[in-house]
Amino acid sequence: MKELRLLWWSGGLFLCFLFSISATVTWGSAHIEMGMVWKIIFSHLWGGTTLPAGIDSATDAIVWQLRFPRVILAAVVGATLAIAGVIFQGLLKNSLADPYVLGVSSGAATGAVLSMLTGWGSILLGKWTVPIFAFGGACLALFLVLRIVDRHLRAESLILSGVVIQAFFGAILTFAISISEQEMQRIQFWLMGSFVLRDWEHVWILLPILVIGLVVAWGFSRELNVLVLGDRSASHLGMNVARVRLFLLLLASFVTAVAVSVSGTIGFVGLVIPHIIRMLTGADHRSLIPLSALAGAILMMWSDCLARVIFDPRELPVGVITAFIGAPFFAMILKKRQKR
């Protein structure tokens, strides 16, 4: 019964995922039909150098070099943030935690901007410079939040700590923007997140991180489940709680940092998605992790699509869309908790 339900939702989400890819590649200033989209994608994946009949090189370029990589990147970022959200919520036993609310995203963005402005370490680290600086920022933010929060990790205390850290790193970011006028545009997009001018290169940075993050997090799904019982119960069951928690916090911060370094701070995906999936298929992390990744990808693809088409030809930062969806959702959960 429960397995059947899980199977239904997995299948449904996967179909929805495929449909979302084709639909969001189709939409845009130039309308390209769904059939043609898939023809172009398949021809690049399995075909040779020649284009299929009836497709001109301009259309091919729009699909393969502009929209498809962007849609895939959105999906990968969405999946990554959703997994980070699942881990944070599980570890902190707090359904209001997510990388954005905790200030981890802001920390990562600050690290990323710092590395862009100063250029430190870029010779040594190459294309990984920005992600690694972002990871440093994310860890610092998380460390500070966990220092401020009370010992019991109560929801309200955690949120307030996150707000403070977010305000602090936000101020650093705004400061950086103010003193460097020529970089303003580039930095500004970190504040609300965007997929403008992102291409395959960024996909190849984040995709391996997502795969590793997904596999490792799934490998720890049993630990995440047991931790729900509480720290003492987990240690009575033979888990090294401190070590597991530290490792998973670092993992979640790392995947968040890499996601932020390619797309900026996009809020609430990691909050909304695990909630919805938990309501649909239960709290077991073995299904929660992969299904959240899938749903996060879908939500982000559509958010980015909306960001592109609503005021076409102008674009909105995608973080605006996710905040419009996420903030009321956040308020709703908070209200529901108070009723209990």
Contacts with another protein, residue ranges (CB under 8 A): 1-2, 93, 219, 222, 225-226, 228-230, 232-233, 235-240, 278, 282-284
Shortest distance (Å) from residue 237 CB to another protein: 4
- CB–CB of 162/145 below 8 Å? yes
Query: Do 267 and 109 meet the contact criterion of CB atoms below 8 Å apart?
Result: no
Task: Report the 3 state secondary structure along 155-177.
Answer: HHHHHHHHHHHHHHHHHHHHHHH
Smallest separation, CB 311 to another protein (Å)? 40
Q: Which is nearer to another protein, 36 or 228 (CB)?
A: 228
d(CA 31, CA 62): 10
Structure tokens at 17: 């995922």
Shortest distance (Å) from residue 273 CB to another protein: 16
Looking at beta carbons only, is 170 or 282 nearer to another protein?
A: 282
Residue closer to another protein by CB (options 185, 240) is 240
Contact between 264 and 192 (Cβ < 8 Å): yes
Identity of the residue, 91 or 306, whose beta carbon is nearer to another protein in the bound complex: 91
Question: Least separation, in Å, of the C-beta of 87 and another protein?
Answer: 16
Please state the closest distance from residue 122 (CB atom) to another protein, in A.
37
Nearer to another protein, 21 or 149 (CB): 149
Q: Is cis: bond before 290, omega within 30 of 0?
A: no
Least distance in Å: CB of 284 to another protein? 6
**Least separation in angstroms between CB 19 and another protein:** 30
Which is closer to another protein, CB of 90 or CB of 136?
A: 90
Q: Is-contact 296 242, C-beta < 8 A?
A: no
- Please identify, using beta-carbon distances, which residue of 234 and 305 lies nearer to another protein: 234
DSSP of 204-256: HHHHHHHHHHHHHHHHTHHHHHHHTT-HHHHHHTT--HHHHHHHHHHHHHHHH
Q: Is 197 exposed, middle or buried (0-12, 13-18, 19+ CB in 10 A)?
A: exposed
CB of 290 to another protein, least distance (A): 15
CB nearer to another protein: pick between 1 and 53: 1
List CB contacts of 193: < 8 A, sequence separation 6 or more. 263, 264, 265, 266, 267, 317, 318, 319, 322
* Residues in CB range of 45: below 8 A, 6 or more apart: none
> Minimum Å distance from CB 152 to another protein?
11
The token pair at 84 is 């980070």
The one-letter amino acid at 188:
Q
Contact yes or no for 92/104 (Cβ under 8 A): no
The residue among 139 and 234 lying less far from another protein, judged by its C-beta, is 234
Contact between residue 198 and residue 263 where contact means Cβ atoms under 8 Å apart = yes
> Which residue type, as a one-letter code, is found at position 109?
A
